[in-house]
């Protein structure tokens, strides 16, 4: 799944990292997984839901990057369920938070 997300977000042309904070870098995308919810029937998993948070950090307006990320993730089969923009005074960076999910049927 990490490769899928990195490959999906790569066209934005910012470094894409998994779970790590990039001290000193002005622009980057970080992603990590949120707790999952599995749907079960007759004691076997029927569906697996993958929840992902994508954080965009930039000193300028993050809306262009966020728009690209939303479109690219949609094309990769993810659905957006949250987005929020904030400014982090301690780093001087805008931080755009996006959350997505994807439901996969267990085979």
Q: How confident is the model at residue 47 (pLDDT cuts 50, 70, 90)?
A: confident
pLDDT in tens, 85-104: 999 999 899 999 999 999 98
| Nearest residue to 18 (alpha-carbon basis) of 4, 7, 2 | 2
- Write down the pLDDT at residue 22: 76
Query: What residues does each domain of the chain span?
Result: 2-105
- Predicted model pTM: 0.88
- Write down the pLDDT at residue 19: 92
Q: Where are the alpha helices (DSSP H) in the chain?
A: 2-9, 63-75
Q: How high is the mean pLDDT of the chain? A: 90
The angle that helices 63-75 and 2-9 make with each other, rounded to 10 degrees, is 130
Determine what percent of the chain falls in helix, strand and coil, rounding each to the nearest 5: 20, 50, 25
- Write down the pLDDT at residue 85: 97
First to last CA, the chain: 17
The DSSP code for 94 is E
CATH of domain 2-105: 3.30.2000.30
| Nearest residue to 16 (alpha-carbon basis) of 63, 56, 64, 76 | 56
């Amino acid at each position: 799944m990490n490769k899928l997300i990195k490959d999906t977000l790569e066209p934005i042309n910012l470094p894409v990292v998994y779970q790590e904070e990039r001290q000193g870098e002005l622009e980057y995308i970080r992603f990590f997984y949120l707790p999952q919810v599995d749907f079960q029937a007759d004691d076997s998993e029927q569906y697996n839901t993958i929840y992902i948070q994508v954080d965009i950090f930039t000193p300028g307006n993050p809306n262009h990057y966020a728009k690209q990320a939303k479109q690219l993730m949609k094309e990769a089969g993810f659905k957006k369920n949250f987005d929020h923009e904030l400014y982090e005074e301690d780093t001087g960076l805008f931080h755009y938070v996006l959350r997505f999910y994807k439901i996969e049927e267990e085979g």
